A and B are shown apart, each in its own frame.
Chain A
Amino acid sequence: MSNKVLLLEDEINVGSTVKDRLLLEGFGLDWAQSLAQAKEYLASSNYDLAILDVQLPDGSGFDMGRFIRDRHPTTAVIFLTAAGSPEDRIHGLELGAEDYITKPFHFKELLLRVKKVLERALYTREPRNAEVRIGKGLVRFHQYQIEVEGKTHTLTHKECALLKLLYERRGQVVSRDDILNIVWSENEYPTPRTIDNFVLRLRKLLEPSPDDPSLIRSVRGVGYTLETSL
């Protein structure tokens, strides 16, 4: 089954070309030209990815990003916008976007990044409907959720992909290079400290005692390991 993409772009020439080319690449795609139209599409279909412009006639694409994060956490988000200042990029990524692409862009670059985000989403969600217990949490990868002591927490796509990677290789040391290749995009430059921050959040949710982690252990200079005794 092809991946389903929602494109939110109000500029006719840009929107129609991106739509035609993504359809030629084999993606299923709906094209909305306003926030209201995008919400209608989201209400009637599930999307693997939303590509969002920011400056729209009836509001900001950032609001749509927030809406998707809250209501449709399984849909990954890429912002595709002329707003390229550091403040805008930070804002977009803080909203949980998987990627932030500024116009003008190369179509091949967009395609590459779309594929990378979808590969990661597919990797994280399969097998569907599976629940696994890790530490204090009951993890539903396909829903990007962890249930801890009766409370449900939503994970970002990157947090979920990182946890899935550690879970699949439990008992083994997962190197930082593997984490970077699988969890992060080509154009991102996370440092060891960035990965540590993601691990910290996972520890807070899963470890019985986050200050003295026994579940996700750091292996100095190499990477991380998830203990087999879950």
Chain B
Amino acid sequence: MASGEIVKKPDRKVKWMIFTHLFWVTTIVVLILWWGRLLSQQGEEIARLQLQLGENASQVQSRLDRTQMMIAGESGTFLFLIVLTNAILLVLFLRDKKRSKSIQAFFASLTHELRTPLTSIRLQAETLRDIEDDPKHQPFIHRLLQDVERLEGQVQRSLELARLEGGGILNLQPIPIKSFIQKQVIASFEGSEQRIVIKSNIEDAVVWADTSALTIIFRNMIDNAVKYSKDTPARVYLQGSLPSPQATHYELNLVHQNSHLEHVPADLGELFSRGSNSTGAGVGLYLIKTLVEKMRGNIEFYTDNGAFTHQIRLEVDREQ
């Protein structure tokens, strides 16, 4: 397989956190011990000076003992509180980590439990479509497949979001973008001309991306175009190019004409923010934004004369 680059390693982050924490605790403990010793020496020094000044030896000794006891008691209490606080923090951290692992395991199992019946429904529906001769039955099967696809999209969005929020990784590898778009995006919508028409002008370049993430990004952007277009079929224009020969980022625009989205809300792309009040869960664009940013890119949205544009910038692999 292609040489990949894994983004974000949670274990390394945890190790780094524990190391920093231990360093902090050790520094505080050493400082407390040092200050305690210093104060104790100061007390002895003061007692010695008092003796030289001719004060009563037993009174000096008594004051020194009380001072030493006070320093030992307060330092000890402080040390104990520091150790106790850190122990509580450690227990909470471990409990949280265990819970996070359980949630991840739950989502892994949910992934299997949701995807398997969906696979079966799709397979049965596709088989019906392929063997059914009566054209009167085909529209029903077509609608069934459309709804399966919608459900698959929603499940995929939710599970991917949960995976990323749980510290999931991406596998960045150099991807020839033109070939990817032609094979994975444009080809997958062939035969859907009643629903969507895609035109494209893609300049070739090799970008750093994760193939699954890119597929989710395009699928979501195109689903949005269909959902928010006033036209049937929705008209989508895909344009990709390098802004200059030395550019570090490839620029990709997906524009859909005649959109219901007439302005871009300031928080579009944030979790649960919706471009329209009536439809959507506010997850799709947040997922796109999160995935693009995890691939070291960025995304902007804007509208112009009824056309809604997603503008994505992806890092170019200059070594190819």
Contact = CB atoms under 8 A, between A and B. Distances in A.
Nearest to A11: B116
B105 to A, nearest CB: 12
A82 B169 CA distance: 17
Interface string B52-86: 00000000000000000000000000000000000
B320 A93 contact: no
A13 interface: yes
Interface string A74-106: 000000001111110110011000000011111
A82 B112 contact: yes
Contacts of B206: 191
Interface in B102-120: 108, 111-112, 115-120
A216 B10 CA distance: 41
Contact of A191 (B123, B152, B163, B320): B320
A190 interface: yes
A187 B119 contact: no
A190 B4 CA distance: 11
A186 interface: yes
A17 B171 contact: no
B124 A189 contact: no
B127 A17 contact: yes
A90 B1 CA distance: 8
Contacts of B136: none
A193 interface: yes
A162 to B, nearest CB: 14
Nearest to B174: A191
A76 to B, nearest CB: 15
Contacts of B2: 188-191, 193-194
A87 B3 contact: no
Contacts of A193: 2-3, 174, 319-320
B315 interface: no
B152 A104 contact: yes
A197 B212 contact: no
A93 B123 CA distance: 25
Interface string A174-199: 00000000000011111111100100
A169 interface: no
A18 interface: yes
A86 B174 contact: no
Contact of B211 (A17, A55, A189): A189
A1 interface: no
Interface stretch (B179-187, B249-257, B301-309): B179-187
B265 interface: no
B285 interface: no
Contacts of B197: none
A21 interface: yes
A184 to B, nearest CB: 10
B170 interface: yes
A67 interface: no
B127 A189 contact: no
25 contacts: A14-B123, A17-B124, A20-B127, A82-B115, A82-B119, A85-B163, A86-B6, A86-B171, A89-B171, A90-B1, A90-B6, A93-B1, A103-B116, A104-B152, A106-B122, A107-B127, A107-B130, A186-B183, A187-B184, A188-B1, A189-B2, A189-B179, A191-B206, A191-B320, A194-B3
Interface of B: 1-4, 6, 108, 111-112, 115-120, 122-124, 126-127, 130, 148, 152, 163, 168-171, 173-176, 179-180, 183-184, 206, 210-212, 317, 319-320
Interface of A: 11, 13-14, 17-18, 20-21, 55, 82-87, 89-90, 93-94, 102-108, 186-194, 197
